[in-house]
Amino acid sequence: MSARPTRRRFLGLGGAAALGLGGAFAASPLIGRLLPPGEPGKLLRSSLPLPARHQAELPIPAVLKPVRSDAGADYYEITARRATARLLPGHDTEVWGYQGTFPGPTVESRSGRRTVITHRSELPRPTAVHLHGGHTPQDSDGYPLDLVGTAGHDMHAMHGGMEGMAGMDAASILPQREYRYPMKQRAATLWYHDHTMGFTGPQVYRGLAGFHLVRDEEEAALGLPHGARELPLMIADRSFAADGSFAYPELDGGRPGVQEPYMNGVLGDVMLVNGAPWPVARVDRAWYRLRLLNAANARRLRLALDPQPSGGGALVQIGSDGGLLERPLRHDSIDLAPAERFDVLVDFSRYPAGTRVRLVNRLGSGPTAEVMCFDVGGDGAADEFRLPERLSAVERLDPAKAVATRTFVFQKDDRHWTINGEGYRPGRALAAPRLGQVEIWRFVTDFHHPVHLHLDPFQVIGRNNGDPGRYDTGWKDTVDVLPAQGVEVAVRFNDYAGRFLMHCHNLEHEDMAMMAEFTTE
Ligand code: C2O
Ligand code: CU
C-alpha cells in the first residue's frame, strides 16, 4: 500500500512533506499563507445581559428508554424537533433538540449488544445523525448526504449557493432512518450529533447533540463511581440574541457556511453545561466520575479545579475518547479541543466540607473563564471506592508494522478550509486503507484543528517528531492539532468496508469544507 494519491497532490507542498513536521513546517513555502496563531475563532457577543453564575442547578440529561428489546438488540426512537427551553432565567430559547431537549436524551448501550435507533425529524431543515466514536458500518454512520427530514425540503435550493458543495445530487432524504449500531467496541463516552452537509455548525449550536454511553464488563468490574456520582458534562459555549434565541452568524438565504469574519470559528460568551449556564452541582465528600465532553463549535478549553486540593493532581484521568486508559493519569488541568472526551475521577473528600470548587477554563477570559462549580457537602457520605492502579489492558498499535504512511495538510485557501488542498467533495476519497492493517497518518497544519476520524479510534505516536502530548494518552478519535504542528497517529480500521469521513471538528471549518472521505476495503 502506498500513499500515491496523496503524494501526487503534494507536488506543491513538497517542502512541508519532505522536511517533516512541526518547526520544519514553519520554514516551508507555505509560510506566506499562514494565519496568525491564536484563538481558533471569533467571539460573538450576546445581546442580552449575561445571567448570574452558579445559580442554575446542573441538569442531567434523561436516559432514553428503549421502545422494545429482543434477545440481541435494544430499539430506540428519537425525533428531532423544535422546542422552547428555559436555558437562561427570564428568557425562552428555541432549541433544535433530539426529543426536543438540549442536550438530547442519553442513550446507554452495552458493548456487544446491538442498538437500533430510528431517527425522525420535524425540523425546518433535514438532518443527518452521526454517532461520534461509534464503530459503525457506513450505512448507519450519518453520512452528510444521508438525510432525515420532512417532505418539502428542497435540497437544491438549500445548497444552490455554494459551488464547493458539488455532489449534492447524491443526497437522499427519508422521513425516517434506522441507524444500526453493532456496538462491537469497548466501554466509552460517545456522543451523537447532527452531521448535515454544510449545516452542522448551526444545527449542533441549536442543540442537536446528546451523550451515548457504552458500558462493558471490564469497566463494571472496577466499581467506578456511578448513579448520582457519575456526571456526564457536555460543555458548550453559546451566544444569545436579545430575545433569548441562539445567535449564530449564518449566511443569508439559507446558504451553508458562516459569515466571513467567523470562518475561524464561532465563540460564544455563555458557558453551558448540559444546557445550563455556569451551573452548580452539590457533591458529597466522595469520588465522582466526570465524563467531560467539549461540545463547543470551536472553543478549546483548559479545565482545572479552583482551588486545587493540596498536593494537586485533582483531575484523575481514567479514560479518553475510546475508553479506559491502562492506568490512571493525574492532571492539574486538561486541554480539550472540540469533540474530545476525557473521563475523569475527582475525589471531593480532598476538600473540607463547605468548599465551593470552581471548574474553570484557563483559556477563557471574563465569563468564559468559568464553567461551573461543585459545592462540597458535609461529612457522613459513605464511599467504598478505591482508585485501582490498573484500569485496563490496552492494545498498542505497533507503528513498525505500518503498511503505509499518509500525510494530510489542514489549511485555509482563499475561500474555504482544505485538506491536502481540496475542499470536501462527496464521493472523492483521499485514501483507501485496507481493513485490519496498521497505517500511520500525519496531520500537519498551520492553525488549530481538532482532527477527527470516523469508524475507528487511533493512538497518537508523536508530535513534531517527538513524544505524544500529555493529553494524547489512550485511544483517541479526535486529536487537538496545534499551529505549526504535525501529529502522527497509528490507526487500524476494522470490520466495515465502505466510505467514511475524516474532518476538522471545528464545526465552522467542517461546514466550510474541511472534510474528506476515505474508503476502507
Ligand atoms: Cu463528531 Cu464526523 O463528527
Ligand atoms: Cu479546523
| Per-residue cell: 498 | 465502505
3-state DSSP assignment of residue 496: coil
**Fold (CATH) for 68-221:** Immunoglobulin-like (2.60.40)
Q: Do domains 7-32+396-520 and 68-221 have the same CATH topology?
A: yes
| Per-residue cell: 133 | 466514536
- The ligand minimizing its distance to the Cα of 481 is 2
- Whether 35 shows a pLDDT value over 80: the answer reads no
Q: Which atom of ligand 1 is nearest to the CA of 193?
A: 1
Q: Give residue 486 CA to ligand 2 midpoint distance, Å.
A: 14
Q: Give residue 335 CA to ligand 1 midpoint distance, Å.
A: 19
Ligand 1 pocket by Cβ (under 6 Å): 130, 132, 193, 195, 339, 452, 454, 501, 503, 505
> What helix, strand, coil percent values describe the chain, rounded to 5?
15, 40, 45
Please state, in angstroms and rounded to a whole number, the distance separating the CA atoms of residues 251 and 21.
Answer: 36
Band of the pLDDT at 152, cuts 50, 70, 90? low
Domain ranges of the chain: 7-32+396-520, 68-221, 227-376
Q: Give residue 191 CA to ligand 1 midpoint distance, Å.
A: 9
Strand partners, 174: 148
| Per-residue cell: 311 | 498536593
Per-residue model confidence as pLDDT tens digits over 367-418: 999 999 999 998 778 899 999 999 999 999 999 999 999 999 999 998 899 9
Q: Give residue 40 CA to ligand 1 midpoint distance, Å.
A: 18
- Mean of the pLDDT values across residues 246-256? 91
- In contact, 230 and 289? CB cutoff 8 Å: yes
Max Cα separation, the chain?
Answer: 67
Q: Which atom of ligand 1 is nearest to the CA of 133?
A: 1
- Whether 232 shows a pLDDT value over 70: the answer reads yes
Nearest CA, atom 3, ligand 1:
132
Q: Domain 227-376 carries which CATH code?
A: 2.60.40.420
| Per-residue cell: 458 | 487511533
pTM: 0.92
Q: Is the peptide bond before 103 cis (omega within 30 degrees of 0)?
A: yes
Please state, in angstroms and rounded to a whole number, the distance separating the CA atoms of residues 72 and 352.
Answer: 47
Q: Give residue 145 CA to ligand 1 midpoint distance, Å.
A: 14
- Whether 127 shows a pLDDT value over 80: the answer reads yes
- The ligand minimizing its distance to the Cα of 338 is 1
Q: Give residue 101 CA to ligand 1 midpoint distance, Å.
A: 20
The mean pLDDT of the chain is 91
**Fold (CATH) for 7-32+396-520:** Immunoglobulin-like (2.60.40)
Q: Which atom of ligand 1 is nearest to the CA of 503?
A: 2
Q: Which atom of ligand 1 is nearest to the CA of 501?
A: 2
- The ligand minimizing its distance to the Cα of 131 is 1
Q: Which atom of ligand 1 is nearest to the CA of 515?
A: 2
Nearest CA, atom 1, ligand 1:
132
Strand partners, 361: 303
Please state, in angstroms and rounded to a whole number, the distance separating the CA atoms of residues 504 and 434.
Answer: 23
Please state, in angstroms and rounded to a whole number, the distance separating the CA atoms of residues 211 and 515.
Answer: 23
Percent of the chain with pLDDT over 90: 85
Q: Give residue 287 CA to ligand 1 midpoint distance, Å.
A: 31
Cβ of 494: how many Cβ atoms within 10 Å? 13
- Whether 38 shows a pLDDT value over 70: the answer reads no
pLDDT of 154: 60
Band of the pLDDT at 16, cuts 50, 70, 90? very low
